[in-house]
Structure 1
Amino acid sequence: MLVNNFFGPDSTGLDAFRIGGDSLLQSNGIEFNTVSKHNRLGGYTAAERNIVSGNRVYGMVYYGNCSYNPVVGNYIGVDVTGNNALPNATGICVDGGSNHNPIVNNVLSGNYSYGIFIVTTGTYYNTMTGNILGLNAAGTDTVPNDAGLLIGGGTKYNTIGGTTPSERNIFSGNRFGGIEIADQGTSFNMISGNYIGTDITGLQARPNLYGISVISECSQNTIDDNVISGNLHYGILLFENADSNIITRNYIGPGADSTTAIGNGTVGVVIWNGCSYNQIGGDGTGNVIAYQDSCGIAVKDNSTLFNTISGNSVYENSLMGIDIFPEGPNTNDAGDSDNGPNELMNYPVISHAAYNSADDMVWVYGTLDTETPENAVIELFTAIPDSTVNHGEGEKYLGRTTCDASGNWMFFGSGITDGMLITATATSVSGSTSEFCENYTVIASVSEYEANFVSVFPNPASDHLYISAPGAALNNVSVFTVDGRKVFEQTGMNENSFEWSFGNELQGGVYVVRILTDDGRVLVSKFDVVK
């Protein structure tokens, strides 16, 4: 156990110990080396704190398969006050197969290069919680490293942060990046619950140049439930063939309270240079991406493919919510045979959206023109008006449905009323998501006269349904599940009544019937099947 020492500073704790007035005494402050285990540097009280600063190379090194050695509550790169830089070259190096080491509640600021790096194959299962990297000990002002954290060289299974406030790390105020994840084989690392670009409150910007970069063929890392806001450039960059990484439930632009606007200086999320199969959000795990000084999400070059953008709340960015380059809204092409970023996936077209006040539900249908439409996913959002383009942004996620083999789709859900705007995205069966489509204004459902004009009964039904429209001819009857899957269609009846005996074809549940008459009227009605 090593507590209450100065490793590198002079006796005042305010400057480095030197020989001859100008040479630092030692290369590294502390080394845990060669399978060392169960040693502790520092502790949970101020009296146990070490000052590990002013060293020529590393403040502290893990090397040689050492494990279970906590580093807790130290100042590494700052002086004894916690306010001024007293730099090591790098604060902590975790290398050489070192594993299962907890790094807790340290100030890792003021270093020339990195606050900490965790690198190489075999360097697994290390944890970082409660640390400050780039700010003073109070978490209020900047004491920058070049970069906060590097995870690279094939390291895996490390956890940065956690699910509670006490596990939160702060990566802010650094000259370049808050966090860098790099290199082939660097996989399965978790970045969770941290503040990246803000002060300790999560409400004031203390910018890094950029928030998180995920680069150089690293894959299958997860960035979840962080605040990534206030940075001078982008929030998150995916670059150089980074693939299959997951970005969920983050505030990218808002503060920790979800409403304070501290947007990043350019784009919220950039996907570029061959990055593929990455997931930005999900059904129930979407990010909030707002207040950027450019677009919310940018997908930039022709080799960047199959990236899924799903379930996010995207709003009040200066430019487009989702921009699939070239910049600005793309034009759908017939058959969707063109190539480009994310396959230049065509966006869906909304044909009709009607709100029924009786059951507080909205019914939307439309089409998707793409090479393989069957099972392509359509996601619906409320939209906010934009003064420059009429494509999104999608502020509130409403839900999803899928297309049939002809590209037709239907959505039945709640969360919107007449007069509001909606927009949608399409995601191909290979995972490429489109831009937001053109906004569409929801109208009130059919008038009371029209609703009475067409009868659908019995409701609930058990094995048959009867539809009657006196004075008009039925042209089309379609029945859908509530998630948009078409289960029945009859066309060209040219009669004012129709009976459908479905027997055991339908399971118990809620269904939607769409009725088109020969004079162009549309009725949508919900009915229950009880078995």
Structure 2
Amino acid sequence: MKAILLSLFICLSTLSHADVFVVNDTGDADQCDQTTCTLRGAIKDAMRTLGTDTINFNIPADAVNQNYVSGGTGNGAFFYWIIQPTQELPEILGITIDGTSADSSPLGNPSIVIDGSLAGTGTNQDPMDGLTMRGNSTVKGLSFIYWDEAGLRIKAGANNIVTRSWFGLNMPYGLAAAPNHVGISYDASGNNSISGTLGFSGNVISGNTNFGIETSSESSGLGIYGNLIGTDPDGMIAVPNDSLGAYIRGLNHRIGNISIPLSGNVISGNISNGIQISGYPHDTDSGHVIEGNIIGLNRLADAEIPNQVGIYVQRGQGFTIHNNVIAGNNWYGINVSSEPKDILVTNNRIGVNFSGQPFSTGTGVKANGGATDLIIGPDNIIAHGNIGVSVGQQSTGSVRVQKNQIHDNFRIGIDLEVDGVTANDVGDFDAGPNRLQNYPDITAAQYDNNGNRISIELAVDSHPGASDYPITVDIYQADSGGEEGQTWLAATTFTEAHYLSGLPINRSLLADAPVSQGDLIVTTATDAAGRTSEFSPSFQLAGDADFAISCETTVFTTTSAMTCTIDCQADSINGWSEEPVLTCDNPDSQCVFLPSDTISFTQSTVPFTIKLGHQATSPGQYTTEVAATAQLQGGPVVRTEFLEIKQLAVSDYLFKDGFDGIVCQ
């Protein structure tokens, strides 16, 4: 319990409040009195008081403080002070240490440096950390360098905040490493944050010999917002952490938050993985959220600062990777290994930046283990890598890949077994990742501009013993290479009954994006257990599916009522398969259609006969409209033929030298 400090020291802001301590000396003595107040002394005295205390800095820039350094020139000139503890500083509880109170830098660089080079080494049981936070504390505007273990450790309690600080960077500009072993180590629970506003008040956690940030398996509730991890303070060049940018274990940690402006992190330039999730404890939904970050590019997302891997999911379950830019990384954008479960990867830009500018990424998303219920989609862009999505030979779970934009990858869009295109096999009984799910076989596909629709005929050769039914077939507009699904268009269902019938299904589907004649489409099949196939070979859309009717004779001449038998035909254009119904429109004529008034397109040309009964008694010109009407979901489609009957007076007929048409009476 903190006790009330009664002495009147320079550490006190007023005579009536013992809650503000002002450090005026860079030494490490345990002293905070009327003349000298060190950081160690201020912490110890603050821990003896009740309430929440603040430690500010007002260290003279004079020869007495030999660790005073000036940096910059002209309008950019500033001072900074180096404090070199000979052992770790006391733990803090309910204390704010505000290094910005000494801020002399117009660049916003920290002016108070906590240098562990004189503190020696610790042990596994008692690591040598720079400073430990135990709850309700804030560290602001400090720089931690050269600590044997963590520059800063958040060890217990809630409501700890770390902001505007540097971890592992040299002074004055942070362009090279001054490494701690770990920048920040987190072993607490509750509402804690390592945060700021990206580019303004976030932390810079770079240059450390192991991890930038690590969380323990017992930890929970850490928010990591608005930081630069692996770069310089401008976020434009690499100052790498020598292993991982962020090593995440425990529960319910959030890296970035799209609901808070500029709260995403830049996690780039790290020697190994930008983020690694190890998923302790086992068999528990971790609840992690990784969203709104730039991983592998600079702060402006216009140049590469690669990690080896953007995000590595070693193990764990029940978390989301959402709305990140993951591009420019050397090996993989996202690598899912070991035994993760229930992972949602959605709305990320993998291989491109916000504007769609391409950056090389080895493989967009790799699954190579026992991943189960790994859901990739909807709305990811996965482009310009070696492979878009690879599901490796060791993968025994299910990887669902649906409703993404996958395009312009060097080898293949979706690769099962990472061996190039896997051909379909009869019945789909082969074994491998995603059970080597067969892709759909397209036998016909047409564009129908009646509501921007696609008419498609397809089947999936997957025996019920090989795939879990029903199977969802997703249809995509192909990319420029004609091999990957760039734009999702529609989906339909292929059932076990369809498979057992041995017949393809025919569907007229409303496309979700504009399509036209000549477009290439590709498809995937995803069974009920979430196993997605590779993309099918592309199929070119024929023109609008349509039909027409025509008759051999359309003009007739008579002097009275008559009956004519007229030979006609209906033609299916580009695979039209809907059944039109025939009608006549003329009050003076009657039509009988043989063999039926319904046309069934069992072949591309279907003949039919009209028995036309003309009943008018007066001379004149009569037109009969023969209509064929097909009822579609988007409305009726009508195609017509016109029959013209010229009824002459007897006198005109007998003495006319000649006339067009045929006498039918």
Band of TM-score, shorter chain? 0.7 to 0.9
Q: CA deviation at 1:359?
A: 3.5
Match in the other structure for 2:302: 203
* SS across alignment from 1:327: coil
1:430-469 superposed matches below 5 A: 430-447=529-546, 450-452=547-549
Partners of 2:319 and 2:343 within 8 A in 1: yes
Counterpart position of 1:82: 174
Aligned residue number for residue 49 of structure 2: none
Equivalents in 2 of 1:359, 1:74: separation in Å? 57
Decide whether aligned partners of structure 1 residues 375 and 496 sit closer, same or farther in structure 2, where only a CA change above 3 A counts.
Answer: farther
Larger Rg: 2
1:379 aligns with 2:480: no
Whole-Å separation in 1 of the counterparts to 2:119 and 2:360: 44
Q: How far does the alpha carbon of each residue in 1:212-241 deviate from its partner, in whole angstroms, 9 at most, with x for none? A: 00013x111110000000011111000011
**Which residue does the alignment assign to 1:128?**
224
TM-score, length basis structure 2: 0.64
Amino acid at match of 2:537: E
CA distance in 2, matches of 1:113, 1:14: 26
Query: 119, 143, 162: which one pairs with 1:25?
Result: 119
One-letter code aligned to 1:161: G
Cα distance in 2 for residues equivalent to 1:22 and 1:53: 6
Q: Hey, what's the Cα distance between the residues in 2 that align with 1:303 and 1:206? A: 30
The match for 1:507 is none
Corresponding position: 1:161 with 2:256: yes
Match of 1:330 in 2: 422
C-alpha separation between the residues in 2 aligned to 1:524 and 1:308?
Answer: 38
Give 2:169's aligned amino acid.
V
**Aligned-partner residue type, residue 238 of structure 1:** V
* Residue type of the alignment partner of 2:493: T
Is the partner of 1:268 in helix, strand or coil? strand
- 1:361 aligned onto 2:453: yes
Q: Quote the Cα distance in structure 1 between the aligned partners of 2:469 and 2:82.
A: 68
**TM-align CA RMSD:** 3.2
CA contact (8 A) 1:378 1:424 kept: yes
Residue 235 of structure 2 is matched in structure 1 by 139
Residue 207 of structure 2 is matched in structure 1 by 110
Residue 239 of structure 1 is matched in structure 2 by: 337
Report the alpha carbon displacement of residue 101 of structure 1 after superposing the two structures with TM: 0.2
The count of corresponding residues between Structure 1 and Structure 2 is 457
Shift of 1:518: 3.5
Q: What aligned pairs does 1:258-277 form with structure 2 within 5 A after superposition?
A: 259-264=356-361, 266-277=362-373
Aligned counterparts of 1:76 and 1:4: Cα–Cα separation in 2: 19
Bigger relative contact order (CA 8 A; separation at least 6): 1
d(CA) in 2 for partners of 1:446, 1:528: 14
Q: CA deviation at 1:187?
A: 1.6
| C-alpha distance in structure 2 between counterparts of 1:3 and 1:352, whole Å | 75
Report the Cα distance in structure 1 between the residues aligned to 2:576 and 2:446, rounded to whole angstroms.
Answer: 18
Q: In structure 1, how many angstroms separate the alpha carbons of the residues matched to 2:81 and 2:526?
A: 57
For residues 571 and 233 of structure 2, the distance between their equivalents in structure 1, rounded to whole angstroms, comes to 76
SS of residue matched to 2:204: coil
Aligned to 1:527: 633
Give the deviation of 1:273 after TM superposition.
1.8
**Do the aligned partners of residues 353 and 223 (structure 1) sit closer, same or farther apart at CA in structure 2, a change above 3 Å counting?**
same
CA distance in 1 between counterparts of 2:247 and 2:303 reads: 24
1:14 Cα deviation after fit: 9.0
Q: How does 1:256-335 map to 2 (within 5 A)?
A: 256-257=354-355, 259-264=356-361, 266-282=362-378, 286-292=379-385, 294-335=386-427
Aligned to 1:509: none
- Map 1:410-421 onto structure 2 (within 5 A): 410-414=507-511, 415-421=514-520
One-letter amino acid of the structure 2 residue matched with residue 100 of structure 1: N
Structure 1 residue 77, shift from structure 2 partner: 1.2
CA 336–41 in structure 1, closer or farther in 2 if over 3 Å, else same: same
Q: Assess, with a 3 A threshold, how the Cα gap between structure 1 residues 28 and 3 changes in structure 2: closer, same or farther.
A: farther
Matches of 2:55 and 2:116 in 1, distance apart?
A: 27
Instruction: Verify the 8 A CA contact 1:301 1:325 in the aligned structure 2.
Output: yes
SS of 1:423 mapped into structure 2:
strand
Q: Which residue of 2 aligns with 1:400?
A: 491
Structure 1 CA distance for aligned equivalents of residues 85 and 412 of structure 2: 55
Q: Distance in 2 between matches of 1:366 and 1:3?
A: 73
CA contact (8 A) 1:199 1:206 kept: yes
Correspondence 1:68 to 2:159: yes
**Contact persistence 1:56–1:89 (CA under 8 A):** yes
Deviations 1:13-61 (A, max 9, x none): 6989487x9953262111013xx3x21111xxxxxx1112221111111
The question of whether the paired residues in 1 share the 8 Å contact of 2:213 and 2:246 is answered with yes
More off after superposition, 419-428 vs 334-343: 334-343
CA distance in 2, matches of 1:528, 1:232: 49
Is 1:517 the counterpart of 2:613 in the alignment? no
Distance 1:87 1:22, change over 3 A: closer
Give 1:502's aligned residue: none
Task: Pick closer, same or farther for the CA change 1:423–1:476 going to 2, 3 Å.
Answer: closer
Query: Cα distance, 1:471 vs. partner?
Result: 3.9
Please give the alpha-carbon distance, in whole angstroms, between the structure 1 residues aligned to 2:516 and 2:372: 37
Structure 1 residue 476 displacement after superposition: 11
What is the TM-score of this pair, normalised by structure 1? 0.79
Q: Which residue of 1 aligns with 2:109?
A: none
Read off the aligned partner of 1:199 and give its amino acid letter: N
Q: Tell me if the contact between 1:279 and 1:309 (Cα under 8 Å) persists in the aligned partners.
A: yes
- How much does 1:173 deviate? 0.5
CA distance in 2, matches of 1:316, 1:273: 26
Aligned to 1:180: 276
Secondary structure of 1:362's partner?
strand
Distance in 2, Cα, partners of 1:524 & 1:418: 21
Which amino acid counterpart does residue 85 of structure 1 have in structure 2? A
> Could you list the runs of 5+ residues in structure 2 that have no partner in the other structure?
1-53, 60-65, 70-79, 87-114, 121-127, 196-201, 552-566, 580-593, 607-628, 637-665
Using the TM superposition, give the Cα deviation of residue 439 of structure 1 relative to its aligned residue in structure 2, in angstroms.
0.1
Shift in Å, 1:85: 1.4
User: Sequence identity, in percent?
Assistant: 27
1:246 CA displacement: 0.8
Which amino acid in the other structure matches residue 24 of structure 1?
A: L
Counterpart code for 1:151: I
Q: For structure 1, which runs of at least 5 residues remain unmatched after alignment?
A: 43-48, 455-468, 480-493, 500-514
Q: 1:338 corresponds to which letter in structure 2?
A: D
